[in-house]
Amino acid sequence: MKNQPKQSCDDAESIRSYLLILNELEHHISTNKDYHANINFLLDKAEAYFKNSNIQVLFIDDDRKLLRNDLYGLKKEGQPAYEITLNENNYFESFFIQQSDNLFISNLDEKKNENVLQDKIQLVLPEAKSLMFVHLIHEGTAVGLMSVKNKEINAFTSCNFEFLQHLSFFISTLVGQIVKDKILKQHEDELIASRKQLLESEKMASLGQLSAGIAHEIKNPLNFINNFAVLSVDLSTELSEEFDKLSEQMNQNDKEYLAEIIQDLQSNMQKIKEHGQRAESIIKGMLLHSRGKTGELIPTDINALLAEYVNLGYHGMRAQDISFNIKIESSYDQTIGRIQVVPQNLSRVFLNIINNACYATNEKKTKLKEAYFPTLSVQTKNRENEIEIRIRDNGPGIPQSVIDKVFNPFFTTKPPGQGTGLGLSLSYEIIVKEHHGEMQVESQDGEYAEFIIKIPKNLT
């Protein structure tokens, strides 16, 4: 679209008048930091300069899908909202954005036969005879367009066109500043959120250490209580037996009184024993959760454990979002039998992977709606020296650019406050350090994510 004016502006007076305006604009911009207000100030000046003309500025939106007249603080009073799809050729504006040159037409009627888009130009402003369209470009990227239209033939001079091009440069620069500020603000917000999360994780870690410390301190006295409780239960049984032997020689009142005391004593000792054991199991749990300590290896039915946690993960997600549903495909190798693992910790691994899968598929479902159904596949295999567990979901997958980071502590793509990014790093530690196994991830972006765990069978 080669439609530049035939000559460049050589009228000294015209140049002087537009340079004066540009000078004023430059001064205003450099002393006022409200970029949105500056854009409107520029437009006011343009309106005063192009008298009796229609001026329009349209910006490309963040998704680069629409051209809109209400972005970057463009004033709206008296102006109806206007937006058009960027990739459609039905609108003259979107057609223009796809061209490389600016446009200057001094008599639209003359273009009737030569310009195939004549009807579209008429759509823009049916009565326009003169038009100028300029691109708004910042650092090589199109950010929008600016147009000036007039009902008269030859309404604009080449000097007007030059002025418009200078103006478009100013507006593009202001948009660039606004975008940069926005990105900066986003980065700042992210930084604040991740700092907060880091503090939270540190707090959790020290809380874990503290509770492990307390648990450790309580363990010894509790041991005494429990051991003596067991002994005392036995002793009270012995006492009761002795009492039965001697009770013949007692009078009725003494006998009943002592029998009652012995019975109370027996039931009290039984209660101390039971509750002491309960306290012990709580303390054991607290100690297991403290990192760095290896839990107890217990022969475990891996298939049953996995099935249990698939179920738990699914119901956990349903509790948060009742509309969530997922098809579960399972293939358990029944020849595995029981193998030595730390079930409490392995179950944390399963739960985290399944929670991640449910979260990921639910996100995809929200986007694709009916076109998609979440599926989770779990598989176990009995290999020669190890067992292999595969957990796969058909969610959004993990982009290649971040797949190496998913096991890093604190790596998360969840919105701030929703994930600590510790799930997979803890899982990795449990599988690799505690069980001397392997943990890997495979994924195709947009298609699936699969976590593969291998645990040796000969753990002792």
Ligand X SMILES: Nc1ncnc2c1ncn2[C@@H]1O[C@H](COP(=O)(O)OP(=O)(O)OP(=O)(O)O)[C@@H](O)[C@H]1O
Q: Which residues bind Mg ion (CB under 5 A)?
A: 352, 356, 423
* Helical H segments across 99-157, by residue range: 118-124
Residues that bind ligand X (CB under 6 A): 352, 356-357, 360, 393, 395-398, 406, 411-414, 419-425, 449
Report, in Å, the least distance between residue 352 CB and Mg ion. Answer: 5
Q: Residue 353 or residue 455: which is nearer to ligand X going by CB?
A: 353
**320: buried, middle or exposed (CB in 10 Å: 19+, 13-18, 0-12)?**
exposed
- The DSSP secondary structure of 94-108, one letter per residue, reads HHHHTSSS-EEES-G
Least distance between Mg ion and beta carbon 422 (Å): 8
* Helix, strand, coil in percent for the chain, rounding step 5: 55, 20, 30
Task: Give the span between the Cα atoms of 313 and 356, in whole angstroms.
Answer: 9
User: What does 398 bind: ligand X, Mg ion, none (CB cut-off 5 to 8 Å by kind)?
Assistant: ligand X
Residue 86 burial (CB count, 10 A): 20
Residue that the structure tokens 């982009």 belong to: 399
- Residue 132 interacts with which of Mg ion, ligand X, none, CB < 5 to 8 Å by class: none
395 binds, among Mg ion, ligand X, none (CB under 5 to 8 A by kind): ligand X
Nearest approach in angstroms of CB 390 to Mg ion is 18
In terms of CB distance, is 258 or 426 closer to ligand X? Answer: 426
Report the nearest approach of Mg ion to the CB of residue 63 (Å). 29
CA 10 to chain centre: 57
> Of 303 and 427, which has the nearer Cβ to Mg ion?
427
Query: Measured from the CB atom, is 87 or 418 closer to ligand X?
Result: 418
Which CA distances in Å does 39 have to 3, 42, 52, 169, 224?
A: 27, 5, 20, 11, 79
- Give min distance, CB of 186 to ligand X, in A: 18
Q: Which does 439 bind (CB under 5 to 8 A by kind): Mg ion, ligand X, none?
A: none
* Nearer Cβ to Mg ion (96/428): 428
User: Which tokens is 155 given?
Assistant: 């309404």
| Shortest-Cβ-distance residue relative to Mg ion | 423
Least CB distance to ligand X at residue 419 (A): 3
Please write down the long-range contacts of 108-117, taking CB distance under 8 Å and 24 or more positions apart: 109/153, 117/92
- Choose between 130 and 352: whose C-beta lies nearer to Mg ion: 352
C-alpha to C-alpha distance for 376 and 380, rounded to whole angstroms: 14
What is d(CA 434, CA 291) in angstroms, rounded to the nearest whole number? 10
Shortest Cβ contact with ligand X: which residue? 423
Q: How far is the CB of 417 from ligand X (least distance, A)?
A: 11
Nearer to Mg ion, 303 or 356 (CB): 356
**Smallest distance from the beta carbon of 199 to ligand X, in angstroms?**
15
Is 146 or 431 the residue whose CB approaches ligand X more closely?
Answer: 431
412 binds, among Mg ion, ligand X, none (CB under 5 to 8 A by kind): ligand X
Strand order through the sheet with 54-60 = 83-85, 66-68, 54-60, 141-150, 130-138, 103-105
Residue 267 — φ and ψ, nearest 5°?
A: -70, -35
Q: How far apart are CA 161 and CA 52, in angstroms?
A: 16
